[in-house]
Amino acid sequence: MFEWLQDFSDWVASDVFGLEATSKLSEVLHFFIYDTVKILSLVFVVIFFMGIVNSYFPVESVRNYLSRKKLYGLEYLMASLFGVVTPFCSCSSVPLFIGFVKGGIPLGVTFAFLVTSPLVNEVAIGLFIGLFGLKTTIIYVISGILLGTVSGIILQQLSLERYLTPWVQQILENSQKETEKFQKQSTAFKQKLPFIWKESKSILKGIFIYIIIGVAVGAFMHGYVPEGFFEQYLSKDNLFAVPLATILAVPMYSGASGILPIVQVLVAKGVPLGTAIAFMMAVVGISLPEAMLLKKVMTFKLIAIFFSVVTLCIIISGYIFNVIL
């Protein structure tokens, strides 16, 4: 599917820049052109496609569904699955959280949604397909969904309601009395398309520069870092590699789209895939800006517990991947 792009990258490197096909610089340039074009186009396709899926799962219906239906334990998995298809900008996390609480949805189920929603999003999926191929992407998506589900179940067991801020506890007490449903706007599919197209373009515009920088750094590492370089430090036998990679990743957020292209090169140079996936999940899934917003509804202690449980689950899944992959 991308052979023409190989040829195009060859042509630019050798004919336009006149570089020897075997030189390091030619390799770097070739890698940069090939990866940038491939990743940007895949990300756009995935964003657009997910936009169409999204438009059938407005968050209002998800919330109504979860608060109405008795799901006998499956609600964690459902919330996690909804997290995949339902878009949510981190600035909406607080109203969304309150809306779920008002609907009498258990805290753990809400957490399941909050974990998966940023973790398995359209940009991450697009980048994953472009960088690691379909198989790794599917593994990432499934483990993201399971991670949300398991974290939600664990968090529910801890009865964390007492750590919500007082005004949210008030809402929680009144939640049984509230029966109102959230209005959803329905628009015809044809009318939605131009909007989804516009949305996709603006998402791509927002992450464009990060991807370019990430691929550029990756391209240089690809050309100049020797094969197997990282194996000596981050081999599967090194038990500290996974927790270290995960904890390092927690504070990183805004450049998630830039970090993935670099991680791909790290994997090519010998970092085990499980360690890399744990790192990426922590980058994408846990963000400090989100924590700042959540402070309005949760005490510091609750945020700390929430993040710790998710981090722990990510570390465990990193180990599991290193064993099975």
Partner 1 sequence: MKVIKILGTGCSNCSLTEKMVSEVVSENNIEAKVIKVTDIQDIVSYNVLSLPTIVINEEVVLTGKVPNKDDIKKLLNV
Residue ranges binding partner 1 (CB under 8 A): 58-60, 63, 88-92, 94-96, 98-99, 102, 167, 171, 180, 182-183, 185, 195, 198-199, 202, 293, 296-297
* Nearest distance in Å: CB 274, partner 1: 34
Closest to partner 1 by CB, 143 or 287: 287
Rounded Cα gap, residues 221 and 223, in angstroms: 5
DSSP E strand boundaries for the chain = none
Closest to partner 1 by CB, 71 or 171: 171
Using CA atoms of 265, 260, 116, 93 in order, give the dihedral in degrees to the nearest 10. 160
Closest to partner 1 by CB, 87 or 130: 87
* Nearest distance in Å: CB 175, partner 1: 13
Closest to partner 1 by CB, 96 or 291: 96
* Nearest distance in Å: CB 257, partner 1: 16
Backbone angles phi, psi at 216, to 5 degrees: -60, -50
Rounded Cα gap, residues 309 and 296, in angstroms: 20
Rounded Cα gap, residues 101 and 97, in angstroms: 6
* Nearest distance in Å: CB 255, partner 1: 16
* Nearest distance in Å: CB 246, partner 1: 27
Residue 229: is it exposed, middle or buried by C-beta count within 10 angstroms (0-12/13-18/19+)?
Answer: middle
Backbone angles phi, psi at 239, to 5 degrees: -70, -20
Closest to partner 1 by CB, 138 or 288: 288
